[in-house]
Structure 1
Amino acid sequence: MPHITLEYSANLESALDMYEFCTVLKNAAAGTGVFPPAGIRVRAISCTHSVIADGDPRHGFIDISVRLLAGRSDEAKTNATDEIFNAAKQFSAAHMAAHPFMLSLEMRDINAEFSRKTSSIREYLPADMA
């Protein structure tokens, strides 16, 4: 865990490499030491329709949601939030400097009582990552 989901305005599709952005966020999350690398999941979802502020179609956004199982300290979550957000800011800095763009991130706990999952991923990972 965590699940990191990016929702982004469709006008960013040709402006930013979303696969690379996902990789940057995965690496930032793994680098915090808060999350086991084998459990990190990052996905990007293009929002075909969006209206931002005054409706100018040049406006763009990326909203990052980080969901994780409860149980980590507030300090660990704050540090992880900052590290992931700083990686996102660095990745998107050039775009933000030249275009109207909004970047946001929210981290929230998943209630384990209402969460189910199963996986075979660890069986396919290198031994040092599982």
Structure 2
Amino acid sequence: MPHLVILYSGNLDRDLDMAAVCRGLADAMLSVRDDEGKSVFPLGGTRVLAYPAPYFAVSDGGQAGCAAGESGDYGFMYLNLRMARGRSEAVQRRVGQAVSEAARDLLGPLKQTRRVGLTFQVDVGAEVYDAKFGNLHDLFQKEVR
């Protein structure tokens, strides 16, 4: 953990380099420091995953856009950052601000070319069960930060 999951309308693929968006958001997450100056998130546990929705309905289906002389080809993107509890509210806000700022920068050009609904939420809810059994973290255990 943390995992940033992006669900977006598939029509955005033609106007967006989603791999670059994912990398930029991951870098933003990894740049956040706690009050002691340590990275908030583990390098090996930081993940950004994006899933295009091939089927979707957005708003009024484009009627208002067409009436305004635009294409009416709306899009959406929902970003949900899930991180484990244990971080102060100030650190959680810092993370939210860093990711939000990066998303605004990365998605700014998209907003210049089309109408798109963007939502970003940070989820620090209760964990019912949490198991980690991969081997990616082992690679970074020797790294000094």
TM-score normalized with structure 1 length:
0.90
Q: What amino acid is the match of 1:7? A: L
Q: Deviation of residue 110 (structure 1)?
A: 4.5
Change (3 A) 1:32 1:115: same
CA contact (8 A) 1:38 1:129 kept: no
Q: 1:119 to 1:106 in 2, by over 3 A?
A: same
Post-superposition, which runs of at least 4 consecutive aligned residues in structure 1 deviate over 4 A? none
Cα deviation code 1:74-127 (max 9, x no counterpart)? 111111011101101100101102210111110111434422221100234584
Q: 2:50 aligns with which of 40, 44, 48?
A: 44
* TM, length-normalised to structure 2: 0.82
* In 1: Cα distance, 2:20 partner to 2:141 partner: 22
Q: Deviations over 1:28-85 (max 9, x none)?
A: 0000122122210110000111111111261011110000111111111111011101
* In structure 2, C-alpha distance between the alignment counterparts of 1:19 and 1:109, rounded to whole Å: 25
Which stretches in structure 1 are left out of the alignment for 5+ residues? Answer: none
CA RMSD of aligned residues (A): 1.8
Per the alignment, in what secondary structure is the counterpart of residue 110 of structure 2?
helix
- Paired residue for 2:119? 104
1:1-130 correspondence runs (5 A): 1-33=1-33, 34-56=40-62, 58-125=73-140, 127-128=142-143
Q: CA deviation at 1:14?
A: 1.3
Q: Higher strand share goes to which structure?
A: 1
Task: Count how many residue pairs are aligned between Structure 1 and Structure 2.
Answer: 130
- The equivalent residue for 2:37 is none
